[in-house]
Structure 1
Amino acid sequence: MSRIIVTASTRMELSELLVATSASALPGAGHVPLHRAEIGGTEILLALTGIGKVNAASAATLLCERYTPDLMINTGCGGAFTGAGLAVGDLAIADSECLADEGVQTPSGWRGLDLIGIPVYEGRGERLFNRIPLDREVARRALDCATVSGFSAIMGPFLTVSTCSGTAVQGEELLRRFPGICENMEGGAVAQVALMYGIPSLEVRGISNMVEDRDLSRWNLKRAVGEVQRFLALYLEQAAAPHPGPCCK
């Protein structure tokens, strides 16, 4: 039986998927609250990681060690950078991740991890510093699936941070360091762990806000997490079907 694991940092980001898949609680996953469903002969595990890179990496490592998934999906909400072509309620799909605030503050400004020459990952002939690759073919198929199904979606690089950007100036600073369409707090950690275990990973987020001077009146968390879970329920159903549609093969 093939297995797909879906991770999110908060219950709100998984609540609708739990209902859509009729998932039931699965004991024995240590500190990670876990639910199980089965769709078309594929086992779906839905895991609540907690917020931030440490929680996400810890949970992803436990899940990879204990359950060896065929695909790891990270989801939740995210902030879109101005100019990315995204609006609140749209879907963002990662073709790569970036640990965007891991680096060195020098007298001449911020520099990435390559400055000190110590990679966060070294293996399979690769030395990776800030940028973590995701499976582009998996991402492209997810984008096709979203587009065909009527969702507004864009694919591009994501940036993972420990401190969310609450000002337009900070967002501009991040984009000067690395290109990106979406900011989040866990995706880079999950992508890095999946890479270490040789597991394909997909990251899809609903846009809850723009990266701008913080104004909660312009946010819509409910819409963001609702749209992305509605998409993932469809994606999982198609991906797990005995004869998946062309966008999910």
Structure 2
Amino acid sequence: MTRVLVVTAVAAERDAVCAVAGSCAAVTLPGGQELRRAAGLPVALDVLAAGVGPAAAAAGTATALTAAALAGQPYDLVVSAGIGGGFSPGPGSGAPLGSVVVADAIVAADLGAETPDGFVPVTELGFGTVAHRPDPALVRTVAAAAGAAAGTVVTVSTVTGSAARAAELAERHPGVLAEAMEGFGVAEAAAAHGVPVLEIRAVSNAVGPRDRAAWRIGDALTALTGAFRTLPEALTAPAGPAPEPPPRSASLTRGDSHVPRRAP
């Protein structure tokens, strides 16, 4: 049976994912974090609310992955999930309120340095990586099952609060659909353990000036539950012919792999 670890930021997102199962039992991880284990699904689904931001997400994900590996039950896939901001729809792009996005690139938008010439990503300073690309075939399958759009999801440590910043991010990351605060941290931990990663976001608000009256958090959580109702079938469907791999730049190669299919 395929084993999936889902990592959210907060309990409300965790509970929205757990709502797809008949029940979710509590399991305490080393360090005291509580993981919820879903029952009655064709995949083994564990859900962890690891905290807000990429550092908490990476730490919680790494703890859960290590505990599973030491128990002899490693995960086959890690999913960063929750609600997030959607970029304004434009020609051929954008993510309106209530829609779902599956990341085809998980990008650290503010990992780097400010210079007189503008922002420089950490890769151009000669360090690390700023992006992970989930398996393209898996992204297509999951997005199609959930009725979701596929595109870039950026990870930020400071939520965007102005039109100017939203425009800057959209210009720097063509095709960006959503922003959130945990995906890159989850992807870093998954890559360190050699486990494939996905990011699924339901859009609760528009990226830009903060207008809390316009947020639709309840609708987004409902959409998140709906997306996860389709995930088990998408993961257990027979795999089709492998597609030709798309060209990739050196900075977008970590984290790419297919989800191993285990016999039930």
Shorter-chain TM band: 0.7 to 0.9
1:20 alignment partner, SS class: coil
Give unmatched runs, 5+ long, in structure 1.
120-128, 148-152
Distance in 1, Cα, partners of 2:238 & 2:124 = 45
Pairing 1:114–2:107 present: no
Secondary structure at 1:86 match in 2: coil
Determine the structure 1 residue equivalent to 2:132.
Answer: 132
| Structure 1: distance between partners of 2:97 and 2:77 | 27
- Answer yes or no: is the 8 Å Cα contact 1:133–1:191 preserved in 2: no
Runs (4+) of structure 1 exceeding 3 A deviation are 38-42, 244-249
Q: Which of 72, 80, 100 is 2:78 aligned to?
A: 72
Greater CA drift, 53-62 or 130-139: 130-139
Partner of 1:100: 109
1:157 to 1:19, Cα distance in 2 relative to 1, 3 A: closer
2:184 counterpart (183, 188, 194): 188
User: Closer, same or farther in 2 for the Cα pair 1:27/1:131, shift >3 Å?
Assistant: closer
Structure 2 distance, partners of 1:87, 1:143, is 16
Which amino acid in structure 2 is aligned with residue 214 of structure 1? R
Q: Which moves more between the two structures, 62-71 or 154-163?
A: 62-71
- Correspondent of 2:195 among 156, 177, 199: 199
**Contact kept in structure 2, 1:134 and 1:201, CA below 8 Å:** yes
Partner of 1:58: 59
Residues in 1 aligned to 2:234 and 2:26: alpha-carbon distance in whole angstroms:
22
The CA distance in 1 between the partners of 2:234 and 2:86, in whole Å, is 27
CA contact (8 A) 1:40 1:240 kept: no
Percent of aligned pairs with the same amino acid? 29
What is the Cα deviation at residue 203 of structure 1? Answer: 1.0
- Residue number among 159, 164, 169 corresponding to 1:169 in the alignment: 164
Deviates more, 1:16-25 or 1:42-51: 16-25
State the distance in 1 between where 2:108 and 2:177 align: 14
> What TM-score, normalized to structure 2?
0.81
1:246 CA displacement: 7.2
- Residue 163 of structure 1 aligns with an amino acid whose one-letter code is T
Q: Which residue of 2 aligns with 1:6?
A: 6
Pair 1:145-2:127 in alignment: no
Match for 2:81: what amino acid?
T
Q: Deviations over 1:108-160 (max 9, x none)?
A: 221111331112xxxxxxxxx2122222221111011113xxxxx21001110
After TM superposition, give the deviation of residue 214 of structure 1 in Å.
Answer: 1.4
Please state whether the residue corresponding to 1:140 is helix, strand or coil. helix
1:17 is displaced (CA, Å) by 2.9
Alignment of 1:220 with 2:216, yes or no, is yes
Please say if 1:235 is aligned against 2:241: no
CA distance in 2, matches of 1:219, 1:52: 20
How far the C-alpha of 1:218 sits from its partner, in A, is: 1.3
Deviates more, 1:9-18 or 1:97-106: 9-18
Aligned residues: 232
Residues 35 and 48 of structure 2 are in contact (CA less than 8 Å); yes or no, is this contact kept in structure 1?
yes
For residues 79-132 of structure 1, the C-alpha deviation after alignment (integer angstroms, 9 at most, x for no partner) is 11122332100001100111110111112221111331112xxxxxxxxx2122
Report if aligned partners of 2:17, 2:224 keep a CA contact under 8 Å in 1: no
RMSD, aligned α-carbons: 2.1
Q: CA deviation at 1:33?
A: 1.6
Aligned to 2:43: 42
Contact 1:13 / 1:225 at 8 angstroms: preserved in 2?
Answer: yes
